[in-house]
Structure 1
Amino acid sequence: MGTAQQDKVPFYEKSALGVGALAAFFGYAGVSILAYPVYNMMLGVSAAWIGVALMIPRLWDAITDPVMGKISDNFHSRLGRRKPFIVGGAISMGILFALLWHVPTGWSDQLKITYFIVMQLLYFTAYTVFSVPYNALTYEMTPDYNERTRVMAFCAFFHKTGELLGGWMLPIATALGIWLVADAQELNMSGVQAMGWIVGVVIMLGIGSMPGLIVKERFKKKTQVQQKVKLWDSIKGSCSSPAFLILVAIIVLNTLSGVLAMGIDQYLLVYFMNNGDMAAGLIQKGLLTSGYGIVGFASIPVITWLAGKFGKKGSLFFVYGLMVFGGIMKWFIFTPGHPIFYIGKVAIDPIILIDPLLCGPMWVAVKIMLASMMADICDEDELKHDQRREGMFSAVFSWIEKMVVSLAYLGTGFALALAHFNPELGGAQAPETFTRMRLFLAGAPALTAIFAIVALFFYPITAKRAANTRQQLEDRRGTV
């Protein structure tokens, strides 16, 4: 079915909504990118305490995310339900992000980690105020099954842009520190603090406000007459939706396998493929990361076309099948002995670029498709409960995703411990250690992709069913 003209979202609105994903990426990932280099390497705080400090906000999110979802669903103003919170959250998030890195260096380790925890709680509260209404807004942009996918493709593009830019935060902070402190030759607090204000003001405050200032809300008037959304009823309603639970299972599987593989591959590149040569291994890791970025950008139009041609489930079946093959191929890709060519003194292993070609498309497809499928689920929820509760779905989904990411980072350390990896041995690890690490790297993505394919077989919403749901909604409450 083609998309009716009135269901199409204008390019400028797609763009304004999409750039919000750039702010959302830095809003969540920015802290984890800088936490260990700043608080451990520069300020000397125990890495174990930093890990605990990074987990504490996830417990706080379990309260604030659903509460924010309820507030956003029930809020009414001349500007809408979502937009005032998006702008207010972006402003407070940007300022608090900058202040995270202004801890006094003369304080004791206990005071430093206390400052970090308190500022994180304030900061992630502001992030919740921004992100929950923002995600809810993406779900309600259009009633059209295929246009939703195209809208989410814009968000995926800017999210992928954030991933590429995020890798430059530390190098730029180092360069700023050298410029601000003439005798400094490495990362220092002046550079970090300058980077904090640049990211906070330009990306979070400035760019993050654009969805709230430019994008239109479809349900601003319709929801003014609906019954109040209740917190516990909404959580139960979300978790009683089979389609929603299937998406939750998929994101849990993806995140766990992705973060595990992301940690293990770097160790194999350094210690197994380059015999402990950290410089050579990290160069190849940078090449691999760039490959994922390029493949991610190139995959966006392909995934969008596949979804229009074969449906959302069909496109996911394709990329997960590719992921199963890619997981198996990791066993052969991440091994020494490949042909090497040199650019100057830099050794390049082109075989490792097969990895992003096989596994990269899945990450873009999930970013696009799961958000688009969430919008379809919100329609079915309205048909069943006669309420628009995008905020609650956004809150529950967001918290689960953030919690799994935090747990997955712990899982990387657990996997290394099970493999009996000893950093003091460098490249002279026992052969069985590398074998176990390669099994983790290859097995995690392949097995989780198989489980995701199985889960998708039970996902009930098709294009035909979504169109029928929309027709019933419009017969009941009119076109919105």
Structure 2
Amino acid sequence: MHDQAKEARLPQKIAVGWAIGEIGVAAYIGITMSYMLYYLTEAQGISPALAGMALLIPRLWDAAIDPFVGAVSDRTPGRMGRRRPYLLFGGATFGLLFAFIFLVPVDLAPMTKVALLVGLYIVTSTAFTFYDVAYSSMAAEMTADYRARTLLVGYKMMAARAGIVLAVIAAPWFFTSGDTLADGFASMGIAAGAVMILSGLWAFFATAQAPQITRPIQHFSLKLEYQALKENRPFLILWLVFLCQNIAVGATATLQIYLVIFVMKVDQALVGTMVAISAISAMLATPLWVRLARRHGKRRIYFISMGMAVVLAIPVLFLPAGWPVALFTLFLLAGIADAATQLCPNAMVPDTVEYDEARSGERREGAIFGTWLLARKLGMALGAFAISLVLTLFGFQAGVDPAGQSESALTGIRLAYTLVPGSIWLVAMILLRFYTLDEDTFNSLRGKMAAAKG
């Protein structure tokens, strides 16, 4: 199908089926951001600084190839369209490769172990990127309606929360039930990998009749791609906001397990439940945020939710250890805010595709979404790496139980959990004020494009 097919109402069956493909993405991101550093320091016995570097290299690689993968998908010919071949290829491989990361023997020499983990993570993240970029790009192809995109992304975000809940609840159950922590992580990797494969293949088959663009862009020029993105001012502003957001999210997600276990002294077996509460509240809050965003505008709701994230980070500075109910409540409220901070930008970025098309005459969803996902991955990588440095700076010791950690290390965890993400959220809020592609502007653009074609 071509551009005119996008004007038809998207069947709910297709929208929900496509959204299920996000479960595997969310499980992958949830586990790698929440538990990967913990896996390296506690199961593999790698120092925080070295573990942080071992994670940073693959994540930077993953982020760097996103725009290239997007440009490739824009130029992919075939009767399945430009995106679905990568759902099949990526969906069938990245979950399988993911499992191997957690099968690395613990008795290898430290540098051999690190090199093997880095290599496996790079290969896995490459397969994941081919899937994720193509999958995300479909949001702009399946519907061109400003408000319908909010609903479509709402389905996707609810599926994402389901994936995160599944990951963060099940993962600790797996890695605490093995004979050793490493054995538990191995079982977790296999189970999570299977979920990722099933999720990706479900999205592939569910979108067989989805509106799509089968005619690829014919020419390729890195200079022209870069120039087009550079001239897409709404996208650039939104990209910077999203980058800041993901630095904050990456820092919070990486540090959450350390906060719960080492600072708040919560039993390790309850970690999954504690962490999952924010994902559950986010999933339940998403329909409300969808309604509010469609009524009051995506940008306004995005701004409000970021302000909520800043406010909710502050109490952790003062919360005494042994107050799990209070921490539980904070996580619940943070999840409500997080639902909107994920929904709104991901519903806004498809609109920048039309802005680019109005200027260039080309539809480059892949390049735009590839660069968009670069912000997510780069931000999370930088946030997680910053946390590994903070842990080292404050004297956190890998492999030492909570009672053996110094007061300096515990204070560092509190400060990093609140001040680092809170300050970055404030920067994101300032940048968002410069974003001007609202519904009226978007509809005006589409009207001019339709008149030019007619």
Counterparts of residues 308-457 of structure 1 (less than 5 Å): 308-332=294-318, 334-335=319-320, 349-416=324-391, 429=407, 438=414, 440-457=416-433
CA deviation after TM superposition for structure 1 residue 110, in Å? 3.8
1:465 maps to 2:451: no
Cα separation, 2, equivalents of 1:420 and 1:41: 15
Structure possessing the higher radius of gyration over alpha carbons: 1
Match of 1:181 in 2: none
Comparing 42-51 with 239-248, greater Cα deviation is found at 42-51
CA distance in 2, matches of 1:450, 1:304: 23
The one-letter code of the counterpart of 1:384 is R
SS at match of 1:140: helix
Cα distance in structure 2, aligned partners of 1:434 and 1:101: 28
Residue of structure 2 aligned with 1:253, choices 224, 244, 247: 244
Task: Give the distance between the partners of 2:327 and 2:35, measured in 1 at CA.
Answer: 27
**1:260 and 1:119, CA in 2 relative to 1: closer, same or farther beyond 3 A?**
closer
> Aligned partner of 1:220: which letter?
I
Structure 1 CA distance for aligned equivalents of residues 74 and 106 of structure 2:
42
TM-score (norm 2): 0.85
Q: Output the CA distance in 2 between the equivalents of 1:46 and 1:306.
A: 45
Cα 1:214/1:35, change in 2 over 3 Å: same
Is the 2:69–2:370 contact (alpha carbons within 8 Å) kept by the matching residues of 1? Answer: yes
Contact (CA 8 Å) 1:235, 1:392: kept in 2 or not? no
Residue 207 of structure 1: which of 199, 202, 210 is its match? Answer: 199
Equivalence for 1:342: none
Q: Does 1:21 align with 2:22?
A: yes
Shift of 1:117: 2.4
Asked if 1 retains the 8 angstrom alpha-carbon contact of 2:281 and 2:333, the reply is no
1:244 to 227, 235, 239: 235
The code of the aligned residue for 1:312 comes to K
Name the aligned partner's letter for residue 18 of structure 1: A
Tell me by how many angstroms 1:56 deviates.
1.9
Work out whether residues 21 and 158 of structure 1, in 8 Å CA contact, stay in contact via their aligned partners in 2: yes
Question: Which stretch has the larger CA shift, 388-397 or 291-300?
Answer: 291-300
Structure number with the bigger relative contact order (C-alpha 8 A, sep ≥ 6) is 2
Matched, 1:198 2:173: no
Residue aligning to 1:344: none
Q: Distance in 1 between matches of 2:32 and 2:316?
A: 30
The aligned amino acid for 1:23 is G
Instruction: Return the letter of the residue paired with 1:378.
Output: V
What code does the residue aligned with 1:208 have? G
Residues of 2 paired with 1:251 and 1:193: CA distance?
Answer: 33
Mapped to 2, the partners of 1:415 and 1:139 lie a distance apart of 39
Are residues 219 and 266 of structure 1, via their aligned partners in 2, closer, same or farther at CA, if it must alter by over 3 Å? closer
Per the TM alignment, residue 265 of structure 1 is displaced from its structure 2 partner at its CA by 6.0
Shift of 1:445: 4.4
Q: CA deviation at 1:316?
A: 1.4
CA contact (8 A) 1:24 1:131 kept: yes
Q: In the aligned structure 2, how far is the partner of 1:78 from the partner of 1:186?
A: 49
Residues 162, 280 of structure 2: 8 Å contact kept: no
1:382 shift after superposition? 0.7
- Pick which of 55-64 and 242-251 moved more: 55-64
**How far has the Cα of 1:325 moved from its partner?**
3.1
* Contact 2:244–2:428 (CA under 8 A) maintained in structure 1: yes
CA–CA separation in structure 2 for the residues paired with 1:107 and 1:335:
40
**Contact conserved, 1:68 with 1:391, CA < 8 A, in 2?**
yes
* Whole-Å separation in 1 of the counterparts to 2:201 and 2:372: 22
- Does 62-71 or 368-377 show the bigger shift? 62-71
Question: Aligned-pair distance for 1:73?
Answer: 0.4
Structure 1 gaps, min length 5: 178-184, 337-346
Measure, in 1, the Cα distance between the counterparts of 2:130 and 2:120.
15
Is the CA contact (8 Å cut-off) linking 1:295 and 1:360 kept in structure 2? yes
Please, which of 223, 231, 238 is the counterpart of residue 222 of structure 2? 231
1:292 Cα offset (Å):
1.1
The 8 Å contact of residues 73 and 134 in structure 2, kept in 1 or not, is answered as: yes
Distance 1:294 1:36, change over 3 A: closer
Residue type at the aligned position of 1:199: A
What is the CA–CA distance in structure 1 between the aligned matches of 2:307 and 2:40, rounded to whole Å?
A: 41
Alpha-carbon offset, residue 405 of structure 1: 1.1
**1:27/1:360 Cα in 2 relative to 1: closer, same or farther (>3 Å)?**
closer
Match of 1:158 in 2: 159
Instruction: Indicate the RMSD between aligned Cα atoms, in angstroms.
Output: 3.2
Partner of 1:289: 275
**What residue number does 1:94 align with?**
95
Task: Sort the Cα spacing of 1:210 and 1:266 in 2 relative to 1 into closer, same or farther, 3 A.
Answer: closer
The CA deviation at 1:358 is 4.1
SS for the counterpart of 1:9 is coil
* Structure 2 residue 55 is matched with structure 1 residue 54: yes
Give, as a single letter, the amino acid of the residue that structure 1 aligns with 2:407.
Answer: Q
CA–CA distance in structure 2, aligned partners of residues 204 and 389 of structure 1:
27
**Deviating runs (4+, > 6 A) in structure 1?**
420-425, 433-436
Shift, 1:447, TM fit: 3.4
- Deviation sequence 1:12-48 (CA, Å, 0-9, x none): 1111111111111233444456645655544555554
CA deviations on 1:262-303 (whole Å, 9 max, x unpaired) are: 55566565666x5xxx345x5786564243123212210111
Query: Partners in 2 of 1:283 and 1:194 — Cα distance?
Result: 16
TM-score by length of 1: 0.81
1:307 corresponds in structure 2 to: 293
1:384, CA displacement in angstroms? Answer: 0.6
Match of 2:3 in 1: none
Paired with 1:260 and 1:194, the residues of 2 have a C-alpha distance of 26
Amino acid at match of 2:204: G
- Name the stretch that deviates more: 124-133 or 256-265: 256-265
Contact 1:17 1:138 in 2 (8 A): no
Cα distance between partner residues in 2 of 1:398 and 1:383: 23
